[in-house]
Structure formats: structure tokens, C-alpha cells
Amino acid sequence: MKGNDLLAWRKRHRLTQKELANLLGVRNLAVYRWECGMRSISPYLHLALEALENRLTKEAEHKEEKDHGDLS
């Protein structure tokens, strides 16, 4: 994974660098450096992002179900 791939993933999920950093348990400076290519990205980061994507999807589905329940 390259920095621009991480940036695209983060933007697609509408996260700030700080939000992504908090979810990953790193400093937002680390996310900035990865995205700018100043630091290499762990070859395992894609696994963490996959897990986060699943979590974010489930949270969005839960929110959608809750919102539909409120409208009934």
C-alpha cells in the first residue's frame, strides 16, 4: 500500500487523519507521514484497514436501522 492509496481509503470513509489515527492507535503525525510518503507503511496495515472497514460498515448499517425505526 502506498500513501496515496491510504489517502484515498481515508477520504472514501470520510475520516480525518486524526480520526484514522485514533482508530489505529497511532499519532495523527504517523498518518500524515504515511500519506505524504515520508514513512513507509507496514505491509500489515491493509489488515487493520479491512477490520476498520468492516466495523465502519456495521456501525453505518446499525445507524441506518435505528434511523428507520425512529421514522415508523
d(CA 54, CA 52): 5
Q: Indicate the pTM of the whole model.
A: 0.80
In tens, the pLDDT along 32-64 reads 999 999 999 999 999 999 999 999 888 888 877
Phi-psi category of 25—alpha, beta or left, where left has phi over 0 and alpha has psi -120 to 50? Answer: left
d(CA 28, CA 30): 5
Domain map (residue ranges) of the chain: 3-71
Q: How far is CA 19 from the centre of its chain?
A: 8
The three three-digit cell numbers of residue 43, written as one number:
505491509
Three-state SS for 42?
coil
What kind of fold does domain 3-71 have according to CATH?
434 Repressor (Amino-terminal Domain) (1.10.260)
Mean pLDDT taken over the chain: 91
